[in-house]
A and B are shown apart, each in its own frame.
Chain A
Amino acid sequence: MQYWIVLGATSGMARPFLRRLAIDGAALILAGRDMEELDALAKDCHLRGAPKVEVIPFDIRDDAAFPALVQKLAAVEGVLNLACFVGAMPEQSAIDADPALIDAVVTDNFTGPAKFLTLLAPVLEARGEGTIIGVGSVAGDRGRVGNYVYGAAKAGFATYLSGLRNRLGRKGVHVMTVKPGPVDTRMTAGKKLPFMASPETVAEDIMGGIARGANVVYTAKIWYFLMAVIRAIPEPIFKKLSI
């Protein structure tokens, strides 16, 4: 049986992905902060076909609680997989006004998930199978004036995942980095953003990436090409652009 532990399970982006897993008959462990929301989500996933669904209170900033959860996961029978949807994106202007926010952004988007994955890595290494999905962002591909602290944290996470893929790939564990462009969720509510993807599209692209063993998946797919262009712009020109 496929087991999926999903960190940040109540995020808008995770919901359709969880339902795909449920219909495929995977057992789920949903981790997040909002227990009422998690319970409703668990019931929903169970009714949609997940044979077992468990909920776990989980806060990415509370790394003292990580070892106990990893220990619990180590005991799971079946193929253990993880997806991390944890993240937060305060306005750049809020960060400019209060630099202390940078610590939180880096914890939520990079060091928190990285600490958890570092603890989990030996478990998967020993099992020699399983998949890790880490959700980054196209914002991590280039420092843009609008959100470069968030982007820096996501860039750090992407580099971490690249190294983890290098380490675990040779042991049969698939590590996949997902880089969404703007996704139509609470995080982006009220903003008009280009090439917005629906969470359903993100789920579809993640499932496709899992099936073909992709390393890095851009979603919506057009961001693969857009970011190739944006990465190729020389810095002397890029620094004058507001894209």
Chain B
Amino acid sequence: MTPPPPEYYGWGRALRARGPIHRPQNLRALDMLAPAFGMRRSYGDAALNSQGPALDMSGLDRFLDFDPATGTLTLEAGARIGEVAASFAPRGWIPAVMPGTGFATLGGCIAQDVHGKNHHHAGSFGTHVSEITLRQAGGEVIVTPGTALFQATVGGLGQTGVITRAKLRLAPCAGDLMVVTERRARNWAEHLAFLDGSQASYTVGWIDATATGSSLGRGIIEEAEFGRGLSRDRKHITRVPMDAPHFALSAPVVRAFNAAYYRRVPAAGRTVLKSMTDFFFPLDRIHDWNRLYGRRGFHQFQCVVPLAAAEALRAMLTRIANSGLASPLAVLKRMGTGRAGYLSFPMEGYTLAVDFPNRAAARDLIRALEIDTAAAGGRLYFAKDALAEGARIRAMYPELALWQQEVAKADPTRAFETDLVRRLNLRSA
């Protein structure tokens, strides 16, 4: 008697799949080809395959080699970025780009070409990768920057093969402590002015997506640099034990929370010390926080629009604020130009990310925002998307045809297609 294959889902828990999952503990045990995922921190269906088996790479998570002369670290694909940071920051090295969760794996960071709070300086994750090893139908392939296959693999949603290992160039850092300056931005204009004027290595804006009228766009700008000292991690881990009821993130609760969160920082601003983990991965201490959105799950909308389209982004924020549907998690950032793959998300401009509970009104709002994004010449992020219309999102990626060409060569039998790739019809011209 074989039990039915397990159900699994992306981080947003709104899209789900059912299928056999293979979890190799070492490379010897990796004996099949299928779409690969890591910790499934992509929100939608980028890590799902409901039409066959999938490979869970989270057990292939070993550190393989480190060259202190160049700072190059070789890792298996399932290695968590947060563990790399925790191990190497005390020794003066840090992943040059870190996404908002330390649970993201190396393979996932490559396949989504993720960005961090330093994108305006450091570019995307893939610009710091010096070699990728892929498992394809024909065997192992080593991929290096400057090739079309590299550009198709970085940000390539796993379609060129199973990423088994890669070399990452770490960046030097002063220590494992962050000196963080927090300032209130009272409205949209001030928020953008702070982001535009920031000289810090790491800059990010938390935005109160429920504030309307003259407070529209208010938030807190965080600017940070690495430092050295003795403050330690808060070790305490909280876990969300069950799916929360729907009112947990209802409009009045979120509005009250956001107002308190905004006033937490004094009007004159302040500078505080934070552990590296607390600054980069603030939500990682609350395990399974996605369950706060209840059984139905949630969606994150993230777009980037060109610098010149700031006014269009303000209109989108107005739409969000007036809807009363936003959650406390909303982020505004200025991005630079750095990107490494044909399907990389970043472009120079402003990126806005907002979480919404998975309800009909929110899905309608996200569809409207998608149309706004397209009209503004912007782009949606595959790591977050669960709802987009295929033709519209494909048009946001001008190098899609180049990617399709490489992917057709790398995976002619379509062994690596995921639910996302099928939903958005990414591989057909």
Inter-chain contact A47/B23, CB cutoff 8 Å: no
Inter-chain contact A43/B23, CB cutoff 8 Å: no
Contact of A43 among B25, B63, B83 (CB under 8 A): B63
Q: How large is the interface on B (under 10, 10 to 19, 20 to 34, 35 or more residues)?
A: 10 to 19
Interface string of B5-31 (1 = CB under 8 A from A): 010000000000000000101101000
Inter-chain contact A43/B87, CB cutoff 8 Å: no
Give the distance to chain B from A59, nearest Cβ to Cβ, in Å: 19
A209 at interface, CB cutoff 8 A = no
B197 at interface, CB cutoff 8 A = no
Q: How large is the interface on A (under 10, 10 to 19, 20 to 34, 35 or more residues)?
A: 10 to 19
Inter-chain contact B26/A192, CB cutoff 8 Å: no
Inter-chain contact A40/B62, CB cutoff 8 Å: yes
B65 at interface, CB cutoff 8 A = yes
Contact of B87 among A37, A41, A48, A186 (CB under 8 A): A48
Inter-chain contact B25/A47, CB cutoff 8 Å: no
Give the distance to chain B from A47, nearest Cβ to Cβ, in Å: 4
Inter-chain contact A44/B62, CB cutoff 8 Å: yes
Query: In the bound complex, how far is the Cα of B26 from the Cα of A19, in angstroms?
Result: 16
Contact of A48 among B23, B26, B59, B83 (CB under 8 A): B83
Q: Tell me whether A204 and B237 are in contact in the complex, defined as CB-CB below 8 angstroms, given that A41-B62, A43-B65 are known contacts.
A: yes
Residues of A within 8 A of B28 (CB): 36
Query: In the bound complex, how far is the Cα of B24 from the Cα of A12, in angstroms?
Result: 11
Inter-chain contact A49/B64, CB cutoff 8 Å: no
A190 at interface, CB cutoff 8 A = yes
A189 at interface, CB cutoff 8 A = yes
A23 at interface, CB cutoff 8 A = yes
Inter-chain contact B86/A47, CB cutoff 8 Å: no
Inter-chain contact B3/A44, CB cutoff 8 Å: no
Inter-chain contact A186/B237, CB cutoff 8 Å: no
Inter-chain contact B23/A189, CB cutoff 8 Å: yes
Residues of B within 8 A of A43 (CB): 62-65
B66 at interface, CB cutoff 8 A = yes
Interface string of B43-75 (1 = CB under 8 A from A): 000000000000000010011111000000100
Q: Which of B72-100 contact A (CB under 8 A)?
A: 73, 83, 86-87, 90
Query: Residues of A with Cβ closer than 8 Å to B?
Result: 12, 19, 22-23, 36-37, 40-41, 43-44, 47-49, 186, 189-190, 192, 204
CB<8 Å pairs between A and B, sample of 30: A12-B25, A12-B59, A19-B83, A22-B87, A23-B86, A23-B87, A40-B26, A40-B64, A41-B62, A43-B62, A43-B63, A43-B64, A43-B65, A44-B62, A44-B63, A44-B64, A47-B63, A47-B65, A47-B66, A47-B73, A47-B87, A48-B63, A48-B83, A48-B87, A49-B87, A49-B90, A186-B25, A189-B23, A190-B3, A204-B237
